């Protein structure tokens, strides 16, 4: 009986991880999500089963999808609540994974593009420096992703 329970737990864990999309798909959907609510929702669905401890970069796209959906919310109180909750999650994820260039890049973009009155820009210079100092040692697909956005 104990064996069946352990087997069931393992299957459940593997099936939830299987629903986490690959980084290429997440990056592609992110690019489409800038001004498109349907793409934001797709990005959220592709990343909602990603495990923050095992796949922090992939999970960061779930946080980002929530932040991007704020652009389509009319109620300012709801928008602010989602913004604060999501930025706290993003900052906590970075505290646990400070060397992940891609997560820092996503936070940099949030800081760069959010309204100044929200005062979410404390790490903008540090994030930019880490990105620029690490970009050459990152895989080519990540380099291309970053350069495409920076040069756009």
The confidence score (pLDDT) of residue 4 equals: 42
pLDDT digits (tens, 9 = 90+) for 110-149: 999 999 999 999 999 999 999 999 999 999 999 999 999 9
Per-residue pLDDT of 49-60, as tens digits, reads 999 999 999 999
| Buried b or exposed e, range 73-102, using 16+ CB within 10 angstroms | eeeeeeeeebbeebbebbeebbeebeebbb
Residues whose CB is less than 8 angstroms from the CB of residue 27 and which lie 6 or more positions away in sequence, other chains included: 141, 145
The label of the residue with tokens 């906590």 reads 92
pTM: 0.86
Residue 21 lies in domain: 2-150
- Label residue 8 by pLDDT band (50, 70, 90): very low
Domain count of the chain? 1
Contact yes or no for 40/49 (Cβ under 8 A): no
For residue 105, pLDDT beyond 70 = yes
Environment class of 141 (CB within 10 Å of its CB; exposed 0-12, middle 13-18, buried 19+): exposed
pLDDT above 60 (res 12): no
State residue 71's pLDDT score: 93
Find the mean pLDDT for residues 99-117.
Answer: 97
Give the tens place of pLDDT for each residue, 68-80: 999 999 999 999 9
Mean pLDDT of all residues belonging to the chain: 90
User: What does the pLDDT read at residue 18?
Assistant: 53
Identify which has the larger pLDDT, 62 or 5. 62
Query: What pLDDT is stored for residue 10 in this prediction?
Result: 46
Query: Cα angle at 52 between 49 and 55, to 5 degrees?
Result: 85
């Amino acid at each position: 009986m104990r064996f069946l329970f352990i087997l069931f737990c393992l299957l459940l864990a593997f099936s939830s991880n299987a629903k986490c999309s690959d980084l290429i798909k997440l990056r592609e959907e992110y690019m489409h999500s800038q001004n498109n609510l349907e793409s934001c929702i797709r990005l959220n669905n592709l990343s909602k089963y990603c495990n923050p401890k095992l796949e922090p970069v992939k999970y960061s796209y779930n946080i980002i999808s929530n932040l991007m959906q704020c652009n389509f919310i009319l109620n300012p109180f709801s928008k602010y609540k989602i913004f604060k909750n999501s930025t706290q999650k993003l900052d906590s994820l970075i505290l646990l994974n400070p060397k992940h260039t891609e997560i820092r890049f996503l936070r940099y973009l949030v800081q760069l593009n959010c309204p100044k009155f929200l005062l979410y820009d404390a790490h903008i210079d540090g994030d930019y420096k880490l990105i620029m100092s690490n970009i050459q040692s990152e895989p080519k697909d990540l380099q291309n992703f970053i350069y495409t956005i920076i040069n756009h």
